[in-house]
A and B are shown apart, each in its own frame.
Chain A
Amino acid sequence: MPAISIAKAPQPAATNPEQIRNFCIIAHIDHGKSTLADRMLGITGVVEDRNMRAQYLDRMDIERERGITIKSQAVRLPWRSGIDGKDYILNMIDTPGHVDFTYEVSRSLAACEGAILLVDCAQGIEAQTLANLYLAMENNLTIIPVLNKIDLPAARPDKFAIELANLIGCKPEDCLRVSGKTGEGVVELLDQVVKQLPPPIGDAKAPTRALIFDSVYDSYRGVVTYVRVMDGHLSPRDQIQMYSTGVRHEMLEVGVISPEPVASNGLGVGEVGYLITGVKDVRQSRVGDTVTTYDNPAKVALAGYKNPKPMVFSGLFPLDGAEYPMLREALDKLQLNDAALVFEPESSAALGFGFRCGFLGLLHMEIVRERLEREAGLTLISTAPSVVYNLTLEDGKQLVVTNPSEYPDGKISEVQEPIVKATILAPSEFIGTIMELCQQRRGVQKGMDYLSEDRIEIRYTLPLAEIVFDFFDQLKSRTRGYASLDYEPIGEEPGDLVKVDILLQGEKVDAFSQIVHRDKAYSYGVKMTEKLKELIPRQQFEVPIQAAIGAKIIARENIRAIRKDVLAKCYGGDITRKRKLLEKQKEGKKRMKMVGRVEVPQEAFIAALTTDSDKVSEKKK
């Protein structure tokens, strides 16, 4: 029995780095990472079977419901190798699996010496996994290729073994085959982790340097910071210091996760664990920062720290203006646990008071919005997502625009827009349609490779704004859901962009303004006016809907005035029924937003986000 009891296992702060293996699992959503992780917890005896709940490590409800991991954690697993019979400590660092969290992934990878590349052998590798694999290879991690779900009838391990072998330069037979569900092959996998991964190397006598790879706000304990000790050690008596801020903190507790937090006598070189300092805000304990001791601080920080930079902005407004203070409170609370979320008050003529929020990407935006609605019980209207534009005006002034309504009319000499490098993996039969989509979206092709005979990797550079505009939905529908996408920002390029405004009854509705490429402005205007005509109910007066660039009207629709809105008869004196009907209708009207004198339903604002919210949810499943 290779599991060893936790009491007899090597203890934190007293484990020889030679006995430690730090690894993470790189996998696409759905490819069974959480199930495999659960299986490892069971096999190593860290979680007794009866305490097992599905996807033990994913903590938040939203994560468990959607089967995705937003926040990573690290678990200490004692293991007696079946190969050499010695005792080891395996630290499994869970990584987020989505494009928006690339930076967090990179820090998790930096805390490991090796990675399990986990691929569903009924589906093959996906773009985001590939991107993370490349990231791991850049970090010189040892990769153990693993084919999962071999129990499935549709499994094609031989085919995907060749694909993986091509990608990482190994032999197909080097790919391990496991089933997280049945447990088959998991013992061998743990033994291979011990065998193939190098132990961590660090200088135990040097000033302490520990890498923060995650920090999580806990309402009872404050911020829990997850670290990997590179040099020196952390002990419960230390005063620590964050390198980037220079702020000193008392250490309240240091420990390891196994899989619940257990306080320890400290953490030594190569060890992974958590620390608690009483800090209440994750922004004071940022991912990628270096923890050192106050008494003997490190001279040089660990490489790779950066501040997360929001890429996508959207206005969030409470449907009921009276909920504005609640929205502020909820955002404040969320920010305690989300260092990447930024927001500032915004006021819209159409939507009233709200917040302009910055997100890492679309998924991040959706998660924040959903948590605000779910946890704070708010009903929100969000405006179409926008990227960050850097403008040079004719008078030479620079302007950063994250909100289309603030985009100046004219007098612009240059606009720089963010560009991303996109990688799309798909069955080769879809090459044509994918290329067509990328062309339409102002993409520039950068290369294409066959992963296996019938699967391709296509690389494009694209303006981020085009991706934000329902690109993923289009890609999915054109490829019957088979394509996967990953992208990362690579800088900025000048773009020929214009702002299209939407006017209701001649009044500009700021929440509907959008920045689009000049060539697409006309079709965008036509589409938006048509959509709004469908969605806005008839009022007692005529409502012209116009799309305009500056003062020039480019599209127009008309909502005719309603002529009849009355129930002619009260049958049998059933006045109760009529009153209730009117009251119900009135309640329905309350869910409309008054824009000037026009009642606009929520759906109209959602429609302005060409990516409609249902579709956004789909992509995460």
Chain B
Amino acid sequence: MNLAFYIHIPYCIKRCGYCDFNTYTPGELQITTGLNDISNSYIDLLIKEIQFARAEVGENVTVPSIFFGGGTPSLMQASDIGRVISTIKNGFNLSAEAEITMECNPDTVSKESLTQFKEVGVNRLSFGMQSAVKHVLETLDRTHNPDNLLQATNWADQIGFKEISVDLIYGTPGESISDWQTSIDSALSLPITHISAYALIVEEGTKLAAQIKRGQVNPVDDDLAAEKYLIADQAFTSAGFDWYELSNWAKPNSASKHNLAYWLGDNWWGAGPGAHSHLNGRRFWNVKHPNLYKEKIESNQSPIAGSESLEELQRESERLMLSLRLPTGVAKKTLNEQQLLELSEYVESGHLDQSNWNEGRATLTVDGRLIADRILRKILL
């Protein structure tokens, strides 16, 4: 059995205005002992959970990928990241070609720290770039200087990281088409092999949502966001990045294995507060707050807060939901008559690819990608 690992690092120096991820500032947690201490003691908890996972899944489990996400994983000490990797290596068969990714904030890394991360086994970096335009970063409430990104990726390149990715966000209020073009051009000038571009989602309860509600920031314009998606797809594709998932583009052979594991319905274990796992049709998730997580782990209790065993229909719905996002789409022979009828309308309207359809697969065209959820709703069971 394969089991990917997602390792959640729920700490940030500062919370960005648009972010509703499960992350906390030291201030929010009333931690005064400094980041090193957090790193050590938090990683201890993760290691215990990974051992717990080992007990759950048993022998002969291969780990094809590890992903350190957050939060800000680059706040952790390299030695602590190394301890996590070793724990996995000791308990499981960590594949020789395993993809080990770490998300980085360009402000919190140095050439030295990146070197250390590489030494402990990290072989792929994902930088939170979001935008290259100052006022857009300000609206997003990001602290980093856009110039830092060039430096950080150059260091990574020089140190010998083969796989470097950046995350972009489009559709931020106030971002013009030319602002977006600037960010695209800037990203493409970096020594990278992978780009994720996500449309901004204004989540309830965030600072940004409140600013929009109060009229201080304009609401997101979905039509403009659609336009930007098309521009990005065009630019990335011409620069040699192929789209391999709705929001992801990569140079040949640089698609993220970990990312694909989600979309292919593979098994993965999410360690850390609020992390989600999937094991053979059962989904479960951990308690959300780091303090509660700590309590559970330290008292040798399971940190799992809830779970869901997928019934056959739900599994099928998820299969459709996940695979439609990929270029391979859904095989027509796995669909029923009603679903085929619904989908044929989208072939006609140009949202599904005609030639792939003729060859037996329902795959999204670039216009179709923009309304993927609408198409999905038609065929969900």
> A: which residues have CB within 8 A of B?
540-541, 560, 562-576, 578-579, 582-583, 585-586, 589, 597
Q: Chain B residues near A571: list those with CB within 8 A.
A: 21
Give Cα A108 to B38, complex, Å.
Answer: 84
Most chain B CB within a 10 A radius of its CB, from A564, A565, A567, A572: A564
Whole-angstrom CA separation of A563 from B308 in the bound complex:
33
A residues less than 8 Å from B226 (CB atoms)? 563-564
Residue B337 at the A interface, CB < 8 A?
no
Complex CA distance for A560 and B227, rounded to whole angstroms: 14
Tell me how far the C-beta of A431 lies from the nearest C-beta in chain B, rounded to whole angstroms. 42
- Is B370 engaged at the interface, CB distance under 8 Å to the other chain? yes
Residue from the list B198, B369, B373 in contact with A569, Cβ < 8 A: B198
CB distance from A531 to the nearest CB of B (A): 22
**From residue 286 to 342 of chain B, which have CB atoms closer than 8 A to chain A?**
308, 314, 317-318, 321-322
Given A541-B349, A564-B222, A582-B201 contact (CB < 8 Å): no
Q: Is the CB of A573 within 8 A of B377?
A: no
Q: Chain A residues with Cβ under 8 A from B349's Cβ? A: 540-541
- Complex partner residue of A582 from B8, B225, B321, B369, CB under 8 angstroms: B321
Residue pair B322, A575 in contact (C-beta under 8 Å)? yes
Q: How far is the CB of B230 from chain A (nearest CB, A)?
A: 9
When distances are taken between beta carbons in the complex, the residues of chain B under 8 Å from A573 are 6, 262, 268, 270, 275-278
- Cα distance A541–B345 in the bound complex, in angstroms: 11
Beta-carbon contact of A579 and B21 below 8 Å: no
Chain A residue at minimal CB-CB distance from B258 = A573
B residues 250-277 with Cβ under 8 Å of A?
Answer: 262, 268, 270, 274-277
A579 and B262 contact, CB distance less than 8 A: no
Beyond the given pairs A541-B349, A586-B380, 20 more chain A to chain B contacts, judged by CB atoms under 8 angstroms and listed by A's residue number, are A540-B346, A540-B351, A540-B374, A562-B374, A564-B226, A564-B371, A565-B373, A566-B199, A566-B374, A567-B201, A569-B201, A571-B21, A572-B6, A572-B8, A572-B275, A573-B262, A573-B277, A574-B276, A575-B276, A579-B318
Kindly list the 10 A-B residue pairs having the minimum CB-CB distance in the complex, ordered from nearest: A563-B226, A564-B226, A565-B374, A568-B198, A566-B372, A565-B371, A573-B276, A568-B199, A564-B222, A586-B377
Interface residue B246 (Cβ < 8 Å from any Cβ of A) = yes
Which chain B residue has the least Cβ–Cβ distance from A583?
B380
Q: Which B20-51 residues have a C-beta within 8 angstroms of A?
A: 21-22
A541→B350 CA distance, assembly (Å): 11
Give the residues in chain A near B22, CB-CB below 8 Å: 572
Asked if A589 and B377 sit within 8 Å, CB to CB, the answer is yes
CB proximity of A251 to chain B, nearest CB, Å? 60
In the assembled complex, the Cα of A571 lies from the Cα of B288 at a distance in Å of 14
- B380→A582 contact, CB < 8 A: yes
Once the chains are docked, how many angstroms separate the CA of A585 from the CA of B374?
9
CB-CB under 8 A from B262, the residues of chain A are 570, 573, 575
With both beta carbons as reference points, the residue of chain A lying nearest to B283 in the complex is identified as: A576
**Are A567 and B21 in contact, CB atoms less than 8 angstroms apart?**
no
Residues of B within 8 A of A586 (CB): 377, 380
CB of B321 within 8 A of CB of A578, answer: yes
Residues of A within 8 A of B69 (CB): 572
What residues of chain B lie closer than 8 Å to A570, measured between beta carbons?
262
Q: Does B180 contact A (CB under 8 A)?
A: no
Contact B317 A576 (CB under 8 A): no
Count of chain B residues with a beta carbon within 8 Å of a chain A beta carbon: 45
Which residue in chain B gives the minimum CB-CB distance to A578? B321
Residues of B contacting A568 in the complex (Cβ-Cβ under 8 angstroms): 198-199, 201, 246-247
Which residues on the B side are within 8 Å of A576 (C-beta)? 276, 283, 285, 308
- Is B376 among interface residues, defined by CB-CB distance under 8 A? yes
- A542, chain B: closest CB distance, angstroms: 11
Across-interface contacts of A565 in B (CB, < 8 A): 370-374
Closest A residue, CB atoms, query B318: A579
Set of chain A residues within 8 Å of B236, measured between Cβ atoms: none
**Any chain A CB within 8 A of the CB of B229?**
yes
Q: How far is the CA of A575 from the CA of B6 in the complex (A)?
A: 14
Given contacts A565-B370, A569-B201, contact A574 B317 (CB under 8 A): no
Min CB gap A580→B, angstroms: 9
B-side contacts of A597, CB under 8 Å: 345
CA distance in complex: A567, B171 (Å): 13
Q: How far is the CA of A582 from the CA of B373 in the complex (A)?
A: 7
> B112 near A: Cβ within 8 Å?
no
CA distance A579 to B325 in the complex (A): 13
Is B223 interfacial (CB 8 A cutoff)?
Answer: yes
Q: A563-B222, A585-B377 are in contact. Are A575 and B370 (CB under 8 A)?
A: no
Q: Shortest distance in angstroms between A63's beta carbon and chain B's nearest beta carbon?
A: 42
Kindly provide the distance from the CB of B316 to the nearest chain A CB, expressed in whole angstroms: 11
Task: With A579-B321, A589-B377 as known contacts, state yes or no: A564 contacts B370, CB within 8 Å.
Answer: yes
Known A568-B247, A586-B380: A575·B371 in contact at CB below 8 Å: no
Contact at B270–A566, with CB atoms within 8 Å? no
Query: Do A585 and B373 touch (CB < 8 A)?
Result: yes
Question: In whole angstroms, how far apart are the Cα atoms of A576 and B309 in the complex?
Answer: 10
Provide the bound-state CA to CA distance between A564 and B367, in Å.
9
- Give the distance in Å from the alpha carbon of A113 to the alpha carbon of B350 in the complex: 78
Task: List A contacts of B21 (CB < 8 A).
Answer: 571-572
Give the docked Cα–Cα distance between A540 and B350 (Å).
10
A-B contact pairs, 26 of them (CB 8 A): A540-B349, A540-B371, A563-B226, A564-B199, A564-B370, A565-B370, A565-B374, A566-B246, A566-B372, A566-B374, A569-B198, A569-B247, A572-B6, A572-B22, A572-B69, A572-B274, A573-B277, A574-B276, A574-B285, A575-B276, A575-B322, A578-B321, A579-B314, A582-B380, A585-B373, A585-B377
Nearest-Cβ distance from residue B47 to partner chain A, whole angstroms:
20
CB B339 to nearest CB in A, in angstroms, measures: 13
B53 to chain A, nearest CB (A): 15
Complex Cα–Cα for A121 and B201 (A): 59
Interface pair B380/A564, CB less than 8 Å apart: no
Residue of B nearest to A577 (CB): B276
Chain A residues positioned under 8 Å from B274 (CB to CB): 572
Q: In the complex the two chains form, what is the Cα distance from A586 to B222 in whole Å?
A: 20
Report A-chain residues with C-beta under 8 Å of the C-beta of B317: 579, 582-583
CA A585 to CA B8, docked complex, whole Å: 29
CA A576 – CA B226 in complex, angstroms? 26
Taking CB atoms, residues of chain B closer than 8 Å to A578 are: 321
1/0 contact trace for B344-381 toward A, CB 8 Å?
Answer: 01100101000000000000000001111110110010
User: B278 to chain A: which residues have CB within 8 Å?
Assistant: 573, 575
The docked-state distance in angstroms from the alpha carbon of A583 to that of B321 is: 11
Query: With a CB–CB cut-off of 8 A, which chain A residues contact B276?
Result: 572-576
Q: CB within 8 Å of A: which of B211-241?
A: 222-223, 225-227, 229
